[in-house]
Amino acid sequence: MTFDLPYRPRRLRRTENLRAMVQETHLTASQLVYPMFIEEGITDDTPISSMPGIFRHPEATMDKAVKEVYAAGIRSILLFGVSHHKDATGSDSLKHDGLLARMITRAKEACPDMTVISDNCFCEYTSHGHCGVLTPDGHVHNDHTLENLAQQAYVCAKAGADVVAPSAMMDGQIAAIRAKLDAEGYEHTPVMAYASKFASGLYGPFRAAAGCELKGDRKTYQMDPANAREALREAELDEAEGADILMVKPGMFYLDILARLRSQTHLPLAAYQVSGEYSMMCYAFQNGALDEKRVVMESMTSLRRAGADIILTYFAPKVARWLQE
């Protein structure tokens, strides 16, 4: 007997069973998080023009929207408030009866089994659209914002949030939030850190969706898309401060960060497929350029393969339905 042929691993893909046995990456609905927009003071679901198929749901009828998502197989949501009570500090989000707290409580009442994640930032609640308190010269005041973030996270935990997810990218935010939650008796509430959040052009549709148009930019506190090592360092600091889950945002343009982070940490990783990623794919589907199901599922696989345990995506209910088929 001679073995003059090279080893041919493609034989492992010859039948469906064999393919399934050697498949390295799997996706289940339990790994998906669906971001939802809840607006106060409106009566009808309002389509978001820059995000096909995505709506701002009225606070008054959000129960129905949350139950529909649950029925689709989604067990985790991330809530964004569209506030009609904005001011310089985003004070509405610090109140126990503000929109942020109310929508968390309401979601938990609608579906007690749903994991409700709070987005902890101020840009949805400030009149200037920045992620914190401004100094007189127009910069975000890091340490003053930290105090507010800690308070806001506490308000969310008290309202029923299962996970708090600070996204403001202030230095020291994880430690500040952890300390406050522990002091208030919420030592078991995990913190999902937007550890590597890049100053990306892909957030455009979201800002329209969440009604937080910004004067200026966030380049002083979000990451430079050119910097990978700095992003890994930020994640390292968040882990040291006590983060329970680390997130990379956006997803598909930053798969290298995700993969490198996967080999750096043992914490669960999340990837946020952001509004711009969602919309560019939707426009390609609408124009017949790409096959929706195939490409969306491939994008999910790419995020999982790069190292994401959790995927935040506006496609979540669709993906969950496809997984059931």
Options 122-130, 178-186, 271-279, 317-325: segment touching Zn ion (CB under 5 A): 122-130
Q: CB-wise, 131 or 248, nearer to Zn ion?
A: 131
Q: CB-wise, 121 or 300, nearer to Zn ion?
A: 121
Determine contact, residues 252/182, Cβ cutoff 8 Å. Answer: no
Q: Which of 256, 272, 134, 110 is nearest to 197 (CA)?
A: 272
Using CB under 5 A as the binding rule, whether residue 123 contacts Zn ion is answered as: yes
Options 69-77, 125-133, 156-164, 252-260: segment touching Zn ion (CB under 5 A): 125-133
Using CB under 5 A as the binding rule, whether residue 210 contacts Zn ion is answered as: no
Enzyme catalytic residues: 197, 249
Q: CB-wise, 48 or 131, nearer to Zn ion?
A: 131
Size of site (CB under 5 A) for Zn ion: 3
Determine contact, residues 153/194, Cβ cutoff 8 Å. Answer: no
Using CB under 5 A as the binding rule, whether residue 116 contacts Zn ion is answered as: no
DSSP letters, 118-181, are: EEE-STTTBSS--SSPBPTTS-B-HHHHHHHHHHHHHHHHHHT-SEEEE-S--TTHHHHHHHHH
Q: CB-wise, 62 or 131, nearer to Zn ion?
A: 131
Q: How far is the CB of 92 from Zn ion (least distance, A)?
A: 15
List the one residue from 82, 121, 210, 303 that touches Zn ion (CB under 5 A): 121
Q: How far is the CB of 132 from Zn ion (least distance, A)?
A: 8
State the Rg of the chain over Cα.
20
Using CB under 5 A as the binding rule, whether residue 131 contacts Zn ion is answered as: yes
Determine contact, residues 43/58, Cβ cutoff 8 Å. Answer: yes
Residue listed under structure tokens 């199901």: 293
Tokens of 242: 């006590």
Kindly list the residues in this chain that would bind Zn ion in the complex (CB under 5 A): 121, 123, 131
